[in-house]
Amino acid sequence: MIVALDLLSGLAEGLNGHMESLVMSSNIMQLLYQCMQDPMPEVRQSSFALLGDLTKACFQHVNPCIGEFLPILGQNLKPEYISVCNNATWAIGEVAVKLNADMKPYVAMVLSQLITIINQPG
């Protein structure tokens, strides 16, 4: 599953704007939602990378899912899984860039975790 997620990330990054038709004709957003909640940290890590890449490539398909995706990203801002945390943080940043002021309702759900991460020693 991890390899498939990473391949999709590579396609999203490589095809950029041409990824839209592939996303539109698939159930990738529903599958991504499931992968983002997988018990394996490596699956979540790759799913957050894919979310960031899809946000950059075809945000119009990610946008309807933001209300479901951002709470999951916020729950994964835990430094004990540093790669998961890094990818969740990056995906949040990509979403924030696209949402601009519409990010406001979601800031409170991630801000305290991000401040905690910043204040950790080392």
CB 57 within 8 A of CB 19: yes
- Indicate left, alpha or beta for 58 from its phi (over 0: left) and psi (-120 to 50: alpha): beta
Residue pair 25/14 in contact by the 8 Å Cβ criterion: no
pLDDT tens digit sequence for 40-93: 999 999 999 999 999 999 999 999 999 999 999 999 999 899 999 999 999 999
Percent of residues, the chain, with pLDDT higher than 70: 99
Residue 108 has which token pair? 């409170």
Q: What is the pLDDT of residue 120?
A: 87
How far apart, in whole angstroms, are the C-alpha atoms of residue 97 and residue 79? Answer: 23
Nearest Cα residue to 89 out of 106, 74, 102: 74
Q: Which domains does the chain have, with CATH numbers?
A: 2-119 (1.25.10.10)
